[in-house]
Chains A and B, each alone.
Chain A
Amino acid sequence: MSEHTPQISVRDLTMAYGSNVVMRDLNFDIERGEIFAIIGGSGCGKSTLLRHMIGLKEPAKGDILYEGESFNASSSKQREALMRRFGVLYQSSALWSSLTLAENIAMPLEEHTKLTKDTIADIVSYKLSLVGLAGFQEYYPSEISGGMKKRAALARAMALDPEILFFDEPSAGLDPVTSKRLDELIVQISESMKTTVILVTHELPSLLSIATNSIFLDVSTKTQAAVGDPKELKEHCKIPQVREFLNRGQDVEAPSHSLSS
């Protein structure tokens, strides 16, 4: 077996806005097909980390490797090709407001594939059905609710069957039932298409039930506190903040037997 390279590896990443350092020395790997959660208090830099991984922002220091290749060192052509393999759901949905939902999803398909109108219409209808918006093709983003926008944006993120899906708080603003459906959908997509899912979320139930790996960003030390399966971290993490977070902010006793995290 050749030496194993994870799909994404983050090496010594320091993120900063100007001279204001948000997080420093992040190190973690993400394997293909994983559902990887980014956890942390609000304002700790989760969205910023996502922006770095998508390539919208240059690291202040360190590197992000995709299949062992540095993202930031590659040419703009390569970056574009790489970015095409991404699907991104932004925190504020970011649907194009002058296009209908159908057009929002069809636009990337028209741009990047040679499919016929008919096929594209099928795919649009399928993606909208997946997120529970079947029949809303002709609506404009301004005519639907915030939660529906989120779901439509998710459908758009999945338009090109990306290999890596990035979600910034997908279930914020969704009712519990829809939110659960979304979890199912994420698991389903990740399983059936071997899609890697990287998600920022605060929803503990969904976090604990779907994420297979996670990183906890600590705002007080400005670096990562722990990496690992959230279910394990919840019980056994050495760091009290992490356990407190994962136990809904309740005070927690020291773990009975500590496990390396």
Chain B
Amino acid sequence: MTQESTKPVSPTLELRPSGEDSFVLIAKGTWTINQQRPSLKETLSDVDDLPAGSSLTIDTTKSQRYDSSLTSLLLRVARTAADKDLKLDYKTDTDSGIAKLIDLALSVPLSKDDGHHETENDFFSRVGEATIELYDNLLDSVTFIGEAIFSMIRFATGRARFRSTDLWLTIQNCGAEALPIVTLISFLIGTILAFVGKAQLDAFGASIYVADLVAIAMVREMGCVMTGIIMSGRTGAAFAAQIGSMKVTQEVDALRTFGFNPFDYLVLPRMIALIVMMPLLTIYANLVGIVGGLLVSWASGIQPLAYINETISVLNLTQLSLGVIKSVFFGIVIAGAGCLRGLQSGNSSSAVGTAATRAVVTSITMIIVIDSFFAVVFTIFDI
């Protein structure tokens, strides 16, 4: 192929009449994919215009070297010839290698369905498609919720089958292993609240109330919401990717055929793990946030003891439980969105990526929606 070091001769393709109703297509020169093919528009359209029934001979005897560059072109000519009912001869004057390869290429007929999914691109069809997708999505979600509830009931009555090691591993993964990032983020949130709050409260000479502000903000909102967001990005995405790639490799199908319920096996342990760990992480985050606030206030002259006293006086059990209650729902949503998107995933690696993205988007959106719902409810009940 490349071993002969003959100088490349530029390739040419020429169509010549060779008698009545017969033509010859002559390829000359060196045809390799490392060099540009000549412009073939005219020659090819000449071939297109040949009268039906005439005969066409392909002559490659004058070409020095060739690879797919020439063979692919001749295959195209052969297909055109078949369309136009030309009598094509690619045996006599054609290199036998090319002839055999063309034979092989033509031995399986062209597939008619070219895979193009007819997508209309006007406004109405896009709205229509989006609506159908929304509906499908809603249906999937409702089915998922239903399945999840049944699965939970099976778990509660001790009939759900899954590997308990899976549960413990997931608990470790979304509990202990999440501590460093939760610590960092909630500590910083606590300090930010203290900095911002103190600057404002100093104007009224009420600096000590920074303790109230940090405590209430952390315990009611920031602790659980930030933990929720961290866990969506960290754990929800991981759930979607794990389950998604299990779909790609047909592991989910394998579970099903062996009589395991993929729901009990994959979704339930993850759901339980997050339902258990989210409240614990939230309590921890609240504490760390308050410590952050305390350190900032201490640095600007508030005695830690006074700060702690103020914090204790403003917090009661109701306040403390609000964020924790919300975090249980956040846990359900994060695990649910992660598993749902994973199970919905298509079977390619890019689909797994999309599933992970959609899991994060869904769970963060849901967290904020649930949080504002609770804000309204708490206001109505004056908590």
Contacts and interface: CB of A to CB of B under 8 A. Distances in A.
A193 B1 contact: yes
A119 B73 CA distance: 8
B68 A123 contact: yes
A153 to B, nearest CB: 14
A163 B1 contact: yes
Contact of B351 (A123, A137, A142): A142
Contacts of B113: 135
A188 B103 CA distance: 11
B72 A125 contact: yes
Interface residues on A, range: 35 or more
B101 A132 contact: no
Interface in A103-157: 109, 113-116, 119, 122-123, 125-127, 129-130, 132-143
Interface string A192-219: 1111000000000000000000000000
A158 B71 CA distance: 13
A189 B71 CA distance: 12
A61 interface: no
Contact of A142 (B68, B72, B97, B348): B348
Contact of A161 (B1, B37, B112): B1
A115 B68 CA distance: 12
B31 to A, nearest CB: 11
A160 interface: yes
Contacts of A192: 95-98, 100-101
Contacts of B71: 126
A126 B75 contact: yes
A140 B348 contact: yes
Contact of B33 (A138, A161, A185): A161
Contacts of B61: none
Contacts of A127: 68, 72
Contact of B111 (A126, A134, A160): A134
A99 to B, nearest CB: 9
Contacts of B201: none
Determine which residue in A130, A140, A184, A194 has the highest number of CB atoms from chain B within 10 A of its CB, and name it: A130
Given A122-B72, A125-B75, A191-B97, A98 B33 contact: no
B318 interface: no
11 contacts: A133-B108, A134-B105, A134-B108, A134-B109, A134-B111, A135-B110, A138-B115, A139-B115, A141-B348, A181-B108, A192-B100
Interface of B: 1-2, 32-34, 36-37, 67-69, 71-73, 75-76, 95-98, 100-101, 104-116, 346-351
